[in-house]
Every structure is written in C-alpha cells, then in structure tokens.
C-alpha cells in the first residue's frame, strides 16, 4: 500500500517551475501553490501583472492534490441551517456563489484544455438514518423552492438501485455536481499559469513580511523580494508568520483510501451511476470511482491531524467503514492511503478579503475544490479594485476563542460529533 495521494502519484510532472534566484521585485506575490494561488496567479498574469507564486513544497502538494475530487454545487453546511442563521437572501447568494464556482472550473478546464477526466457526475447525499432522510426531505423542499429546482429527493429504493449497500434510507441528488482528477487538473492549472507568465517557485517558504515603500518586503527561506501586493492562499497554513490566520482556521485531518483497480462488472453493480457520494453523519464518509476504476473512500475518520502514523490509523478506520458499507469489497486490496488538512472556519464559510493590507482567501472548510479555483479568479479582480466581486467580503472573522494555531481541542470535538451521530 502506498502512503501517498493517488492523485499526485498519477499526475504528470509539473515542468513550468522556476529554478533560478527569486526576482528582486514583482507586482504581486501569491503565497501558496494550491488551487487558490495558482488560479489567482493565472488570472493576475492574464491581466498583465508580474506575479511570483511562492510555494513551501510542491504545487498542489497539500489539500488541492489530496482531496476527494468532488467539485460540487451547494454550500458546505446544511442549507436549512444556513437559511436559519443568515436569512433566505444571503443563503441564496452563497448557494449561487458555489454554482458560479463550479462554472469557473468548467470554463477554465475548457479554456486551458486541461485533460483531467472532468465529468458531470452529480452528487448524492445519502441518509444514514431514517430521521436524516426526513431532514434531507425538508432541505430538498427548501432548496427547490428557494434556489435550485433541479435538486431531487430519492427514496430508499431509488438509492438502493444506485448504491448497492443496505446502509441508506434515501438521498438528496444534485445533478450539477462534477468530478475530476485533481492531480491532473492542478498540474494543468500550474502549467497554464506559468504559460501566461506567472513565475512559480517551489520549495520556497514565506516566513513573514513588512511594509516597505509602496508595497511589502516578503522574507522567504530563499531570500527576500518586494511586491506591490501580497495574496495569502495558504489553506490550512501550517507554516510560520501567519499567526493571525491560524487563530481563525482550524486544521482538521481528512483521510482517504483507494482500492486496487476493480472490474467494470463489479462497479456496474456497486455504483452504476458513478456519482460523488457523501453520507449524512457528522463523522461521515465520501466516495467515488477514480478514472481507472478504483473506489476512493474518505472521511474525517478520527478527528486528528494528518501525518504518517495518523493517516495509517485513519486508513484502517476507513477500510472497516468501507467493508461495513460494501461487504462485497471486504477482501479487496487497498493500494493507497493518505491524508490532508481541511481549513475549517467556525461557521464553515470561506473568508476572503484584506487584513492589514495583505489579501487572503481561505477557509473553504472541506468544500473548496470549486471555490478555491473560483476565488483565485475573484481575488485577481478584488486586487484590481473590484471589491464587490468578492461574495464573502462582508463576513466578519473573529478569532476562535482558545485557538492559537494547534487544534488541541480536536479529540473533544470528535467525541462530541460521535455523540451527536449516536443520538441523532
């Protein structure tokens, strides 16, 4: 079994990275070479700005190259809760922002001709308990009435025809969801950004910055450089110098296993529609078929950080959950097991804008494949003076009480969620 992301292992090598010294000055420094940073760099370069992307590791080496590959419409929260907390109009605007985000990915894939197995698969949310089905039915009615008439409620029998497991009591289908090979997409996006003129430096960690002249001097592990503007696209930001953001983002491990290549006949019985699937539990699972016929099965598993040992332990939890859900796969070999960090905000809504003169976009809370790509483009507009382009610009962003960067409270949150799953 390989302890690395299936997507990164099967992606082409990125050939557009800079190998020489950093330039003395650029118009914009983008910190982070995930989807947010690369998409922003591409859009800024297309506007004629000189851009340097500074990435601590390799491009799309973190969340962007380690996720489930679902590119879905719909907000990360339950829509009814969003309406209850923010009101119908704001909830509708946020739902539409996710629709625009999916469309941004569609357009980008077409414009840059990125071969990434992009397909409209639909997303099916699966009710793990009868009362969850009742909740999905209420949410479905609300979404249909308020914002998206194409959402459908599927009965237990309809779900059983789509998902060959006895575990589910019905589901909510969003037909506009897409899926893709995120490694191929990410490398394609990086090549496109480089082709349009962005300078991409890997193995270059940003350590801090200070105002200088009309811009900022940014210190990195490979020396310093000047820029007029700086965009932080640092996701769950595990490096130094980002204290203000680390108090507002909780890094939470999410883990994935991928099976050996499975025969078509088995998959045609198991998941004939080959959609993106997610279960309704708080500590739930998500799964899909990869382009080469593996079942990719993920979830938060243990509410822990990601890393060698933690990923392996979580992989075992996921293998057991997969075998419970699909007993017909109990003997199937697992070829890949990996983890990554999700950048959670307290309300699971992204944050984007400016703090102390420095721009940021992050906090997609596990629902960022589409939104990170979209927000990269949006931030290029915002940094060009069009602040109204930012759908998240009005959200306040207080620090999370008691959180100083290391999420010491994750085991307690995991216990609470487990209890909720048991009770409700």
Ligand X SMILES: Cc1cc2nc3c(=O)[nH]c(=O)nc-3n(C[C@H](O)[C@H](O)[C@H](O)COP(=O)(O)OP(=O)(O)OC[C@H]3O[C@@H](n4cnc5c(N)ncnc54)[C@H](O)[C@@H]3O)c2cc1C
What residue ranges bind ligand X (CB under 6 A)? 31-37, 54-57, 61-64, 66-70, 205-206, 233-237, 239, 254, 256, 298, 340-342, 362, 364, 366-370, 372
- What's the min distance (Å) between Cβ of 423 and ligand X? 26
Lookup: tokens for 287: 């799964």
- CA-nearest of 245, 242, 221, 258 to 69 is 258
Residue with smaller CB distance to ligand X, 215 or 253: 253
- What's the min distance (Å) between Cβ of 59 and ligand X? 7
- What's the min distance (Å) between Cβ of 159 and ligand X? 20
Quick check: 359 and 232 in contact, CB under 8 A? yes
Outline where 242-301 has alpha helix (H). Answer: 243-246, 264-270
Quick check: 161 and 312 in contact, CB under 8 A? no
Residue with smaller CB distance to ligand X, 165 or 254: 254
Residue with smaller CB distance to ligand X, 56 or 383: 56
- What's the min distance (Å) between Cβ of 161 and ligand X? 24
Lookup: tokens for 338: 């990996």
- What's the min distance (Å) between Cβ of 130 and ligand X? 26
In three-state secondary structure terms, 326 is coil
Residue with smaller CB distance to ligand X, 240 or 411: 240
In three-state secondary structure terms, 271 is coil
Residue with smaller CB distance to ligand X, 200 or 233: 233
- What's the min distance (Å) between Cβ of 305 and ligand X? 11
User: Which 3-state string (H, E, C) describes 209-249?
Assistant: EEEECCEEEEEEECEEEEEEEEEECCCCCCCCCCHHHHCCC
- What's the min distance (Å) between Cβ of 64 and ligand X? 3
* Cα–Cα distance measured from residue 334 to residue 66, given in angstroms and rounded to the nearest whole number: 17
Residue with smaller CB distance to ligand X, 364 or 392: 364
Residue with smaller CB distance to ligand X, 169 or 321: 321
| Nearest residue to ligand X on Cβ basis | 368
Quick check: 337 and 257 in contact, CB under 8 A? yes
Outline where 130-181 has alpha helix (H). Answer: 130-146, 156-162
Backbone angles phi, psi at 120, to 5 degrees: -80, 105
């Amino acid at each position: 079994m390989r302890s690395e992301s299936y997507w990164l292992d099967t992606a082409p090598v990125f050939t557009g990275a800079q190998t020489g010294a950093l330039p003395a000055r650029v118009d914009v420094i983008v910190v982070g070479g995930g989807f947010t940073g690369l998409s922003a760099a591409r859009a800024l370069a297309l506007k004629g700005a000189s851009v340097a992307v500074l990435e601590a590791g390799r491009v799309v080496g973190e969340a962007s190259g380690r996720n489930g590959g679902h590119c879905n419409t719909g907000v990360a929260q339950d829509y009814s809760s969003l309406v209850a907390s923010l009101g119908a109009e704001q909830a509708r605007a946020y739902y539409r922002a996710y629709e625009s985000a999916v469309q941004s990915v569609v357009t980008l894939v077409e414009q840059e001709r990125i071969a990434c197995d992009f397909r409209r698969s639909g997303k099916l949310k699966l009710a793990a308990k009868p009362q969850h089905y009742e909740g999905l039915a209420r949410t479905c009615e609300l979404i249909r009435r308020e914002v998206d008439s194409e959402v459908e409620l599927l009965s237990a029998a309809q779900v059983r025809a789509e998902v060959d497991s006895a575990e589910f009591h019905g589901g909510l289908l969003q037909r506009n969801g897409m899926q893709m090979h995120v490694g191929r997409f990410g490398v394609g996006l990086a090549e496109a950004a480089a082709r349009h003129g962005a300078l991409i430096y890997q193995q270059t960690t940003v350590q801090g910055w200070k105002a200088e002249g009309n811009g900022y001097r940014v210190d990195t592990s490979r020396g310093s450089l000047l820029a007029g503007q700086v965009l932080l696209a640092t996701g769950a930001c595990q490096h130094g110098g980002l204290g203000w953001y680390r108090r507002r983002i909780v890094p939470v491990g999410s883990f994935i296993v991928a099976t050996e290549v499975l025969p078509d006949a088995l998959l045609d019985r198991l998941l004939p529609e080959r959609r993106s699937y997610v279960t309704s539990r708080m500590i739930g699972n998500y799964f899909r078929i990869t382009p080469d016929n593996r079942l990719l099965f993920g979830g938060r598993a243990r509410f822990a950080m990601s890393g060698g040992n933690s990923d392996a332990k979580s992989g075992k939890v996921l293998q057991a959950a997969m075998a419970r859900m699909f007993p017909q796969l109990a003997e199937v070999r697992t070829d890949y097991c990996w983890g990554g960090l999700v950048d959670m905000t307290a309300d699971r809504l992204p944050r984007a804008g400016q703090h102390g003169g420095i721009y940021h976009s992050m906090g997609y809370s596990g629902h960022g494949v589409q939104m990170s790509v979209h927000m990269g483009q949006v931030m290029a507009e915002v940094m060009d003076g069009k602040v109204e382009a930012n759908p998240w610009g009005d959200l306040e962003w207080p620090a999370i009480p008691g959180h100083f960067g290391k999420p010491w409270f994750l085991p307690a949150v995991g216990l609470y969620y487990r209890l909720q799953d048991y009770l409700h």
